[in-house]
Amino acid sequence: MALFLLSFVGVGLVTSCEQVSCPLNNTVESKYGFYASARTADGVFAEGLAVTVADSLSVCILGTDSVLINRQYNISGVALPVSFYGQTDALQFSFKDQQGAVGRDTLWIHKQSHPHFDDPSCPVHVWHVVTAVESTHHLIDTILINHAEINYDGLENFQIYFFTSDDDEQTTE
């Protein structure tokens, strides 16, 4: 009888514990895919194919010495952290080819941030909604917002279209 009571109490303790449903994959980051731009004969932008960038890529937060990516090669996209509550993130993408020539573009990601709770027992996360994106146009032709919500769903948020050899490079900032 004592064994029965102990097992009954043990089952009661196990079932009375709160089950926590915190997601395991909870890193909030923005995802960027790389593409080649395509233009019609009259110069109108058209979406091109996904590309792998062979040049060395480094990404820094503009105005700081924070390096997010340092000299990665042969990549078709990147995942980058997002500031918690800043309204705009400024990122500098630097590309260095095998001959040592460097090309840079700056991206400004305008966003609204808000706290997100999965469960009261889980830590709070900050999710973001992209309202606009701007860039310089030395190597980047166009940036499209593919998925405006930045959270931990793993979806591609931005499509960066690079000038191809047929495109005219723009030098306005």
Which of helix, strand or coil describes residue 127?
strand
* Cα gap 138→167, rounded to integer Å: 11
Domain count, the chain: 1
Examine residue 65 and state whether it is found in any structural domain, yes or no. Answer: yes
Residue 42, token pair as written in the block: 């009259």
Domain membership of residue 20 (yes or no) is no
**102 belongs to a structural domain:** yes
Q: Is residue 167 part of a domain?
A: no
Residue 170 forms part of a structural domain: no
pLDDT for 173: 37
Q: What is the mean pLDDT of each run of 10 residues along the chain (173 residues)?
A: 50 49 72 88 79 90 88 91 88 91 94 80 82 95 93 90 65 37
Comparing C-alpha atoms, which of 142, 135, 141 is closest to residue 163? 141
Look up the domain containing 54 and give its range: 26-162
In a domain, 171, yes or no: no
Give the pLDDT confidence score for residue 19 in this predicted structure: 57
Residue 131 within a domain: yes
The pTM score is 0.77
Q: Is residue 18 part of a domain?
A: no
